[in-house]
Amino acid sequence: MELLVLGVLILGKSQNSDIIGYMEHLIIANWKSNPINLKEANNIFSNYLKLGKKLKNKKIIACLPYLYLLLGEKLKSNKIFLGTQNIFPETNGSFTGEIKIDMLKNLNINYAIVGHSERRKLGDSNEYINKQISLILKNKITPIFCIGEQKRDHDGKYLSFVKEQIIKGLNDINKNYIKNIIFAYEPVWAIGSDAIREATKEEFIEMKIYIRKILSDLYGSKIASSVKIIYGGSVNSKNAKIFIDASADGLLIGRDSLNIKNFESILNSF
């Protein structure tokens, strides 16, 4: 009960700050390993630029495959920003096939996804993600730190799973940097073709409170209440507003970010 009460207080502070200040929702488009050619990528990105002219209280962060990051040279909007889907955490030495952060900085990169469930499945450990976050922050890029349980259980073990992801992912990160991290909650069991079901707004609210509680224990309530927590998990035009109304600071969108009609429907849904 004590944890829940403190969490509600922390969440309440965050909500109040949103009401008092200017609330701008983050719409993060994760293209993953798509599309298959530059022509299609250019078409999608050009449509993003058109959408950016109509955005109000929202900004798009387009996280593209390395191959298409040069499209960012077209950016002239303060509503659309460029992000990478991954960052190699080493800076010195030769690493065949890897992209170093200095190379990305020259491409107008402002954001970087780390800890995505698909990357974790490929072997990215909490310790590896911690090195990524540290390097990203030192280079003044904003990490989009993905966390989320693989399954839900009645014993609450999923809470410990998420807690471990956060604590190990933020190990030795200076508290002054925490407010610069975007936390993306993505329940793995609600994502993609293997999804068991969609997550509910109540489940997201629970996790947002819990994430702030963990951060409060680590860094204090002031810092905990300042971070942005977004939702990602098969987001579409039917459920986007549900999570925004459940106090999500934004959305992490996968498949529907590649379909301009669907993506625009999401943007117009709230």
Query: Out of 116, 198, 202, 264, which one is annotated catalytic?
Result: 116
Cβ atoms of 10 and 216 within 8 Å: the answer is yes
Cβ atoms of 170 and 178 within 8 Å: the answer is yes
Query: Out of 73, 118, 186, 264, which one is annotated catalytic?
Result: 186
Is residue 51 left, alpha or beta, with left meaning phi > 0 and alpha meaning psi from -120 to 50?
alpha
| SS3 call for 231 | strand
Length of the chain, in residues: 270
Cβ atoms of 99 and 66 within 8 Å: the answer is yes
154: annotated active-site residue? no
62 contacts: CB under 8 Å, gap ≥ 6: 29, 31, 45, 48, 72, 80, 81, 82, 83, 257
| SS3 call for 82 | strand
Q: Residue 14 burial by CB count (10 A; 0-12/13-18/19+): exposed, middle or buried?
A: buried
What amino acid positions are annotated as catalytic residues?
116, 186
